[in-house]
Amino acid sequence: MPEPRTIVAPQFDDAAQQQETSMLGMWVFLATEVMFFGGLFASYTMYRALYAQAFAAASHHLDIVLGTLNTAVLLTSSLTMALAVRSAQVGARRTTATLLVVTMLLGLAFLGIKGVEYYQKYVDHLVPGPSFSFSGANRHDAEMFFYLYFVMTGLHALHMIAGVGVMSVLTILTVRGRFTPAYYNPLEIGGLYWHFVDIVWIFLFPLLYLIGHHT
Amino acid sequence: MTNAEPVLKLPRENYLNANYGIKSWLLTTDHKRIALLYLVSVTLFFVLGGIYAGLIRLELLTPYGHFVSDESYNKLFTMHGLIMIFFFLIPSIPAVLGNFMLPMMIGARDLAFPRINLASWYIYILGGIFTLTAAVTGGVDTGWTFYTPYSSTYSNTHVITMAAGVFITGFSSIFTGLNFIVTTHKMRVPGLTWFRLPLFVWSIYATSLIMVLGTPVLAISLSLIGLERLFHVGVFNPAMGGDPILFQHLFWFYSHPAVYIMILPAMGVVSEVIPCFARRKIFGYHFVAFSSLAIAVLGFLVWGHHMFVSGQSIYAGMVFSILSFLVAIPSAIKVFNWTATLYKGSVIYRTPMLYSLGFIGLFTIGGLTGLFLATLGIDVHVHDTYFVIAHFHYIMVGGAVMGYMSGLHYWWPKITGRLYPEGWGRLAALIIFIGFNLTFFPQFVLGYLGMPRRYHTYPPEFQVFNVMSSAGASILGIGYLLPLIYLLWSLRYGRVAGPNPWAATGLEWQTTSPPPTDNFSETPAVSDEPYNYYDMEPVPHA
Amino acid sequence: MTTHIVPVRTYVAVFVALLVLLAATVAVNFVSLGELNVLAAMVIAVCKMCLVMLFFMHVRYSGRLIWIYVCIGFYWLAILIALTLGDVLTRAWLRP
């Protein structure tokens, strides 16, 4: 099968301009995502500063093993994503597709583990709302912690789901031979998005799971 | 040499007649057609927002207002604010004039991401549908500011629908800003360095920075309100240890820079129009360019001046007060530079110039009264009074809307190929100027005397000023109706404009009016400094 | 288009470093450092973020424009958090 030509959209002068433009576009988009999550991080920072002890007590109810495991899963998925982009750079189509699928599976694993954690919280009556029950002095402040936990990890999970969707599209395009060493923009910018979602979790993990000293 | 002017004809093939049919408009990726889609949409929303304003002023004719109930009045000012801000002011100049002119000013064939541009419009329309749904199913009464805990817990109106509408429209803003930023960085023709760009591009770029960095925080604050209403738990609920002031921080972190989204593009228009109709290079190009960036950056540091009496720490209040004084400086620098451009210029009083001159005066008044409000001690007394309302209407209507009208008239020939009737243009500008001042100047007095905002009843001694204001509003309404009529009229009967009816500088005037779909028949090259008006012929006589 | 191709070795080395930092951040949590626990956790998180950004996201091989936009996001987030905290933490300073 002949190598596909790199298609340059009509508003661009050449492929290089197209590539640089799409990269800058994704980075600007990631800056907006930083601000989107940022509102939640600002809220978290404020309440943690005000209710430090309650937050620490509440945090101890999170499963540190699952949290660490999930972090490792995501870090691995970032590795496989970076390797997938690299495979496209050197024209190794099958390897690219395989690595993308592995990345997706790791992402789904992350979501699965998250689901298990959410279910555990539900069973333990730690979901904010009428069924919330927390034994300890600062019931309301602990409820605030769990509210932030669910909203922040929930928003993160939504972004993961979108990321898995993006990965599946990229996988299909790879298998169809859409990418060459001369043109792999969508893979690169998809990778940037995936790594960003990983970075959000890199901050969520210590802020939510590792508050206060664990014995 | 005879007095006969060359007979101008519309170009045979241009972006308007390149394709026919509704699909060619609704599925277009041409930035110029998308600009027109926005033009129609924002005009419709302006009319709707204006109707709400008319109802408010009707109610305020009498002190013990019987025209609408308390609850209905709350809905009127809420819908007026939401529609005017999110569906008119924020998109108007960027999405209409910016969309049309930015690629042309940098010599590009289109924006960096044309399909995202079209998506932005559809997202805007979707947000508009949610908003109209909220409006017709009973409206919202929280004020456009959605303050908690009323919006998150106590209000019985369609807050979630409305918040969803604003949330969705916010993404239209974000994608437009993203498109403009990337386009400006990556798609300039050879030779067009940053300091050869028209100042309108600098303004749009600075505006886009704000759109991209601020709007997401609005999105998350509205999401948090939605969650709190749905699940009855949340970060703003004092019963759960939450702080309603947190909402105000998150909300104003966007909404203050949002006012710079609304004014910066208008300043960009003025920076184009003044040099053209004074036939002089702009004074202090670099100062104006850097001031645009400075406004964008400093504008993010002042949001707490909306919260002086909210319960915010007094120390935070003092910091925000000082920073608010600082942010006035770049705006003042621009006013000085525009004024210096006029000095010893050959001023020609065409309609765009009338609006831009009006802008300078009215924006200055609005901006100076902003300094009064930034002064913590004064704000304690005039916060939540008509003084604030007068202040921001001077900026938003006397500034931003006049800037929009200036740009619309200035670039109308380029967009449509036709000239609007100059006599009617000047008359409308005059009526608008008079109507505007009659509407809003009395409100400064009312606010100073103590009339609170968002109340539809007031002490009888305030009635004189309220009647003046309402009378002004009806004049203003007539003023806005005129351009609607004569601009539409000009589409069919206006004189053909030719490529450069104003003898202006700038790449957009180097192509036909209307332009071809690809903007330029050959990619232009730039080697001159901008605004080189000393080399240009004078503006042709009408 | 001349985008730098990063060797597999580099990616794997970065990955190993990330796992080491993950272990470190969990381990530190079991040591009581009081106020410093938060700081340590954040420093480690920032290191992990920098590794991901510089190598996996190719920022190390990117031009100045990308660096600027990377920094812009964080600078603006810092403004939001700093000034909000500035209010919240100083409310108690002045009690009538």
pLDDT tens, B429-458? 999 999 999 999 999 999 999 999 999 999
Residues of chain A neighbouring C12 (CB-CB closer than 8 A):
79
Calculate mean pLDDT across residues B225-230: 95
Longest dimension (CA), chain C: 66
The amino acid that residue B295 corresponds to is I
Residue in the structure block whose two tokens are 């309402």: B470
Residues of chain A neighbouring C45 (CB-CB closer than 8 A):
202-203, 205-206
One domain, residues C16 and C41: yes
**Count of CB contacts below 8 A, A vs B?**
101
b/e per residue B126-162 (b: at least 16 CB within 10 A): bbbebbbebbeeebbbbbbbbbbbebbbebebbbbbb
- Residue A139's pLDDT band, with cuts at 50, 70 and 90, is confident
Residue B273, min C-alpha distance to chain A (Å): 28
| Tens digits of residue pLDDT in B241-250 | 899 999 999 9
Burial class of residue B457 (count of CB atoms within 10 Å of its CB; 0-12, 13-18, 19+)? middle
Calculate mean pLDDT across residues A65-90: 96
b/e per residue B216-228 (b: at least 16 CB within 10 A): bbbbbbbbbbbbb
Would you give the DSSP letter of residue A47? H
Predicted-complex ipTM score:
0.94
What CATH number is given for B33-533 in this structure?
A: 1.20.210.10
What CATH number is given for A32-209 in this structure?
A: 1.20.120.80
Peptide bond preceding B501 in cis form (omega within 30 of 0): no
Residues of chain C neighbouring B319 (CB-CB closer than 8 A):
83, 86
**Partner residue opposite C83 with nearest CB, options B185, B304, B314:** B304
| Tens digits of residue pLDDT in A155-197 | 999 999 999 999 999 999 999 999 999 999 999 999 999 999 9
Calculate mean pLDDT across residues B203-214: 97
Residues of chain C neighbouring A89 (CB-CB closer than 8 A):
3, 5
Do C91 and B313 make contact, defined as CB atoms within 8 angstroms? yes
One domain, residues C37 and C68: no
Residues of chain B neighbouring A37 (CB-CB closer than 8 A):
220
Structure-block tokens of residue A24 = 């800058």
- Residue B268's pLDDT band, with cuts at 50, 70 and 90, is very high
pLDDT at A6: 80
Separation of alpha carbons B322 and B326, rounded Å? 7
One domain, residues C56 and C89: no
pLDDT at B1: 44
> Please, which chains are in contact with B (at least 3 CB pairs closer than 8 A)?
A, C
Do B227 and A151 make contact, defined as CB atoms within 8 angstroms? yes
One domain, residues C96 and C55: no
| Tens digits of residue pLDDT in B27-76 | 999 999 999 999 999 999 999 999 999 999 999 999 997 889 999 999 99
What are the residues facing B496 on neighbouring strands? Answer: B418
Q: CB neighbours of C42 closer than 8 A, spacing ≥ 6?
A: A206
One domain, residues C55 and C73: no
pLDDT at B2: 47
Separation of alpha carbons C59 and C63, rounded Å? 8
**Partner residue opposite A27 with nearest CB, options C52, C69, C80:** C69
A77 φ/ψ angles, rounded to the nearest 5 degrees: -65, -30
Would you give the DSSP letter of residue A182? T
Do B233 and A147 make contact, defined as CB atoms within 8 angstroms? yes
Nearest CA in chain A to C15: A79
Would you give the DSSP letter of residue B142? S
pLDDT at A2: 53
pLDDT at B470: 97
b/e per residue A106-145 (b: at least 16 CB within 10 A): bbbbbbebbeebbeebeeeebbbeeebebeeebbbbbbbb
- Domain positions in chain A: 32-209
**Partner residue opposite C90 with nearest CB, options B185, B217, B316:** B316
Q: Say if residue B316's pLDDT is above 60.
A: yes
Total of domains in chain C: 2
| Tens digits of residue pLDDT in B339-353 | 999 998 999 999 999
pLDDT at B317: 95
Please state which of the ranges B6-20, B357-371, C39-53 shows the lowest mean pLDDT.
B6-20
Instruction: Compute the mean pLDDT over every residue in chain B, rounded to the nearest whole number.
Output: 95
Helix (H, G, I), strand (E, B) or coil at B496: strand
- Residue B8's pLDDT band, with cuts at 50, 70 and 90, is confident
**Partner residue opposite A43 with nearest CB, options B112, B232, B235:** B235
pLDDT at B385: 97
| Tens digits of residue pLDDT in B138-182 | 999 999 999 999 999 999 999 999 999 999 999 999 999 999 999
B444 φ/ψ angles, rounded to the nearest 5 degrees: -65, -45
Do C81 and A198 make contact, defined as CB atoms within 8 angstroms? no
pLDDT at C1: 38
Q: Say if residue B216's pLDDT is above 90.
A: yes
b/e per residue B403-414 (b: at least 16 CB within 10 A): bbbbbbbbbbbb
Single pTM value for the model = 0.95
Cβ–Cβ contact B368 with A under 8 A: no
Cβ–Cβ contact A168 with C under 8 A: no
Q: Residue C31: which domain range? A: 1-62
Q: Say if residue B402's pLDDT is above 80.
A: yes
One domain, residues C57 and C82: no
- Residue C32's pLDDT band, with cuts at 50, 70 and 90, is confident
| Tens digits of residue pLDDT in B359-397 | 999 999 999 999 999 999 999 999 999 999 999 999 999
Cβ–Cβ contact A52 with C under 8 A: no
State the alpha helices, DSSP H only, in B456-497. Answer: 463-493
